[in-house]
Amino acid sequence: MKYLVIVNPISGRGYAEKAVPSIEDALKANHLDYDLVRTERPWHAAEIAEQAAQDGYDVVVTASGDGTANEALNGLMRARTAGFDQTALGIIPVGTGNDLAYGMGIPDNLNETCLALAQNKRLVADIGLVKGGDYPEGRYFGNGVGIGFDAAVGFQAEKITWARGLLAYLIAALQTVFLYYKAPIVDITYNGETLTKPSLMISIMNGKRMGGGFYMTPESSPSDGELDLCIVNEAPKLRIFQLIGLFLKGTQANEPEITTGRTKNIIAKATKGTLPAHCDGETLCYEGQQLEIEIIHQGLEFVTA
């Protein structure tokens, strides 16, 4: 087995670079045959991962957060469309949110993660594809797409440089309650029906959580062939604070503002206002008008615990 480890030095507010000596110690302790490279620019991880698949590496491993893992995932999916489909994705979660790793059952302990890489247990996971915003041709994702409040929280969290993980997103969420504009009116079409409503947030999930600890769809599975939905109606500020607490526990499903569902594809179209959106924490658009999302069943292998 040959592994290519991709380190994003700025992941986790620079924590990933500081962790490199410990990462290499853990890889060597588990007798893994690996090469290690660092990213140098946006989308570099996608380029490296695509080339690694072409070069015959068995596993591409990102030592990073969700953004770099998403880039590598896109590189591997592009390689698969060209016939290079034997390379799996592993993640050493040293970023800010690490939600993609969590959703794929990858442990957040470095030694446990490297042991899992050595044991090479595979999960054949579904992969999402979103088209629209800044990516009319599409961008793949492993964890989920967030539209509205969730995306605005992510944009705000990027400005918080002194905290990482759930704390950064929680602070950003509280700030966004006061900063976020009036919820757009959105046509949401899935399973043959269209809902039209002021939508504070639309979470379209393959994994379970976003923002390092907000459980959007705690019952979802990354390998069931469907996307899990959590749609939040417009709500007053005080009620948003209450809902934030419920999302931290994953107990929001039965609240009157919440609509849940499952689907293989979904279209969200703003009829009034615009759609800020992200996938796997990476910006899709700040003011999008329409997003189309579909699931690709058993799209990519992950190395998991």
Per-residue pLDDT, 273 = 93
User: Which long-range contacts does 41-46 make (Cβ < 8 Å, 24+ apart)?
Assistant: 43/71, 44/71, 45/6, 45/8, 45/71, 45/72, 45/75, 46/71, 46/72, 46/74, 46/75, 46/78
Q: What sign does the CA torsion over 280, 283, 286, 291 have?
A: negative
Asked whether residue 164 carries a pLDDT value surpassing 80, the answer given is no
Nearest 5°: the CA angle 93, 163, 247 is 75
**What tens digit of pLDDT does each residue of 88-124 get?**
999 999 988 899 999 999 999 999 999 999 999 999 9
Asked whether residue 161 carries a pLDDT value surpassing 90, the answer given is no
| Mean pLDDT, residues 33-41 | 97
Please, which residues have CB within 8 angstroms of residue 110's CB and are 6 or more apart in sequence? Answer: 19, 22, 23, 26, 92, 94
**What tens digit of pLDDT does each residue of 40-49 get?**
999 999 999 9
Asked whether residue 145 carries a pLDDT value surpassing 70, the answer given is yes
**What tens digit of pLDDT does each residue of 244-287 get?**
899 999 999 999 999 999 999 999 999 999 999 999 989 999 99
How far apart CA 20 and CA 171 sit, in angstroms, is 28
Domains 2-119 and 130-298 share a fold: no
CATH number corresponding to 130-298: 2.60.200.40
How far apart CA 88 and CA 94 sit, in angstroms, is 19
| Mean pLDDT, residues 209-234 | 95
- List the chain domain ranges: 2-119, 130-298
Three-state SS annotation for 16-71: HHHCHHHHHHHHHHCCCEEEEEECCCCCHHHHHHHHHHHCCCCEEEEEECHHHHHH
Asked whether residue 181 carries a pLDDT value surpassing 80, the answer given is no
Q: Give the pair of three-digit tokens for residue 188.
A: 């949401």
- The more confident residue out of 285 and 164 is 285
Per-residue pLDDT, 155 = 82
Does the domain spanning 2-119 belong to CATH 3.40.50.10330?
yes
Per the prediction, the chain carries an average pLDDT of 93
**What tens digit of pLDDT does each residue of 38-77 get?**
999 999 999 999 999 999 999 999 998 899 999 999 999 9
Per-residue pLDDT, 256 = 97
Measure CA 288 to chain center. Answer: 19
Per-residue pLDDT, 35 = 98
Backbone angles phi, psi at 230, to 5 degrees: -140, 110
